[in-house]
Amino acid sequence: MTKPADRHIDGVISHELLKQLAYNEKMAELGRISAGVVHELNAPLSVIVSASQMILREEDVPEFVREMIDRINIEAQRLSQMTRGILSFSSQEEAGGDADVNLTIEFVLDFICYEAARRGVSLMRDLDHRLPAVGVDSNVLKQIIINIAMNALQAMEAGGGRLLVESRAGNNSEVSIVIADTGPGIAENALARIFEPYFTTKRPGEGTGLGLFVTRTLVENLGGRIEVSSSVGEGTSFTVTLPGEEPG
């Protein structure tokens, strides 16, 4: 029987693990630096947005100038929304309890829309607008949904497909979030291991194998559970179920 690649050699970390840890550390550093850069982008972007809006309010602006300023305004607003999304996602602060699940889903879908577009994946939502409140921090909930959704997009790297995010009210004021893709699915032997720390089928540098482990831990710390069902060649569906607020 073959053993999985040794991660530890006589108590010393293996070359492969060191490479992966070094890469993760680099990406974490890059994340911190990017958050600073993005923060700096905010101020000039708001200047561009408000200045272009002032020009658009002028009366004697030739039509072709108006059209160009209009485009500048739209693009600057798009960038500004993106930078706000990145800052909000990178924030370490707790946003405070009682996340609005549907709003959080909308935030995540906006945030990952470029990643989806790049792969030709269409994003779909099916939101139940009568959800009970959940006593969950919205930044934590964002991270849970983004981890699962990014895995789905990475699985659909080949291009095309659909990613559906659904919210549902369940029994006992529970709330479920379903994240379903039309990707390649997960083979049975891998399915049993996806929540293990460091289990990954991605090449070193592309995956750490920590995403679902962290995600499941976050969900369980909230008193919830995470389930997965997958069918090779058809797709994968994750369901996160969170306890609702006790009435009264």
Ligand X SMILES: Nc1ncnc2c1ncn2[C@@H]1O[C@H](COP(=O)(O)OP(=O)(O)O)[C@@H](O)[C@H]1O
Site residues for ligand X per CB under 6 A? 151-152, 155, 181, 183, 186, 190, 194, 199-202, 207-213, 236
Q: Which span (157-165, 178-186, 210-218, 223-231) binds Mg ion, by CB under 5 A?
A: 210-218
- DSSP code per residue over 45-85: HHHHHHHHHHHHH-SS--HHHHHHHHHHHHHHHHHHHHHHH
CA dist 179 → 172, 182, 194 (Å): 21, 10, 16
- Smaller CB distance to ligand X: residue 73 or 182? 182
Task: Output the smallest distance, CB 219 to Mg ion, in A.
Answer: 15
Q: Pull the structure tokens for residue 158.
A: 């080949």
Backbone phi and psi for residue 202, each to the nearest 5 degrees, phi listed first: -90, 160
Q: Which does 86 bind (CB under 5 to 8 A by kind): Mg ion, ligand X, none?
A: none
- Smaller CB distance to ligand X: residue 211 or 224? 211
- Smaller CB distance to ligand X: residue 132 or 184? 184
Residues from 103 through 162 that contact Mg ion (CB under 5 A): 151
Backbone phi and psi for residue 236, each to the nearest 5 degrees, phi listed first: -135, 145
211 sits near Mg ion (criterion: CB under 5 A): yes
243 sits near Mg ion (criterion: CB under 5 A): no
- Beta-bridge mates of residue 9: 12
> 88-102 as b/e, with b when 16 or more CB fall inside 10 Å?
ebeeeeebeeebebb
- Smaller CB distance to ligand X: residue 73 or 151? 151
- Smaller CB distance to ligand X: residue 81 or 122? 122
Task: Output the smallest distance, CB 190 to ligand X, in A.
Answer: 6
Binding site for Mg ion (CB under 5 A): 151, 211
